[in-house]
Amino acid sequence: MMDCADYRRAIFADPLHPGAQLRAHAAACRDCSEYTQRLLRFEGRLERALHVNVDALGAAPAGVVLPFAASRRRAGSPQRTRRRAFAIAASVLAGVLVAGGLWIAAPGSSLAADVVSHMAEEPDAWARTDVAVPQPKLDQVLREAHVRLKPSAGLVSYANSCPFRGHVVPHLVVQTDSGPVTVMVLAHEPVKRSVRFDEHGYRGMIVPVPNHGSLAVLERGPNTGNRAVEGVASQVLGAIEWTP
């Protein structure tokens, strides 16, 4: 059965011609359906941005400001006109990208969406408690991922080995003064830089771990915020020891 990550990779390659399997997945998955709609809207903006009417450049309608001031001199050579048209197309395209279309294609954003989707599968993990997960259970989860945690990681109240993007990864919950914060150790998901996200009531960040993939750290409570997420990310990173 196709998962969300496979769907998004496939639909991004050709959003205008999805096969039967892709259509079936989108019909059953609201998040991926919304992702597809955002992708199609971006495709539409991109298409419009790349079609610049060169003949209309010298006479813009009233109230429309073109990226370049209209020249009062006689029209230049065809080569100059083509260069000008290309520059305007590039300017329009840059505006479209900044306006909010390109983020859906970023690997970090796709990874964040998959992390958030996974959270819905384990709602009991978000309990606020001062009871630590039994040490044998925590040791087993970490051992399977070749990870050891120092006590400085904080109170871990939940630990489970979860399937995620074709691998089994540790899913932990660390208790903070502001509430529970989830940590997923994603050794098979390298990222180049930290990625922040705010989706479907979850806020968090994905932090690169040199030579060991990344950590996804997120929270959903009204009393927690970016500071708590950043604190736990730093705390857990400092407490991780990688084992053979």
What's the CATH number where 215 sits?
Answer: 3.40.1000
- For range 222-234, the mean pLDDT: 76
* Residue-wise pLDDT tens digits, 15-66: 888 888 888 888 888 777 877 887 777 766 666 655 555 455 454 455 545 4
* Residue-wise pLDDT tens digits, 68-99: 444 444 555 555 655 555 555 555 555 544 44
- Domain shared by 129 and 187, yes or no: yes
Distance CA 166, CA 118 (A): 13
Helix (H) or strand (E) holding 205: strand 202-208
- Which of 80, 104, 128 finishes a domain? 104
Domain count, the chain: 2
User: Which one is predicted more confidently, 161 or 45?
Assistant: 161
User: Which one is predicted more confidently, 141 or 29?
Assistant: 141
Give the domain range for residue 202. 106-242
Distance CA 208, CA 211 (A): 9
149 within 8 A of 137, measured Cβ to Cβ = no
Q: What is the pLDDT of residue 41?
A: 74
Is this model's pTM higher than 0.85 or not?
A: no
- φ, ψ at 57 (rounded to 5°): -65, -30
Residue 155 has pLDDT above 90, yes or no: yes
Q: What is the pLDDT of residue 220?
A: 84
- Which of 52, 69, 104 finishes a domain? 104
Q: Which residue bears the tokens 């909010």? A: 100
Distance CA 188, CA 155 (A): 25
- Domain shared by 150 and 235, yes or no: yes
Characterize 100-131 residue by residue with b for buried, 16 or more Cβ atoms within 10 angstroms of its Cβ, and e for exposed. Answer: ebeebeeebbbbbbbbbbbbeeeeebbeeeee
CA 174 to chain CA centroid, Å, is: 22
Beta carbons within 10 angstroms of residue 184's beta carbon: 21
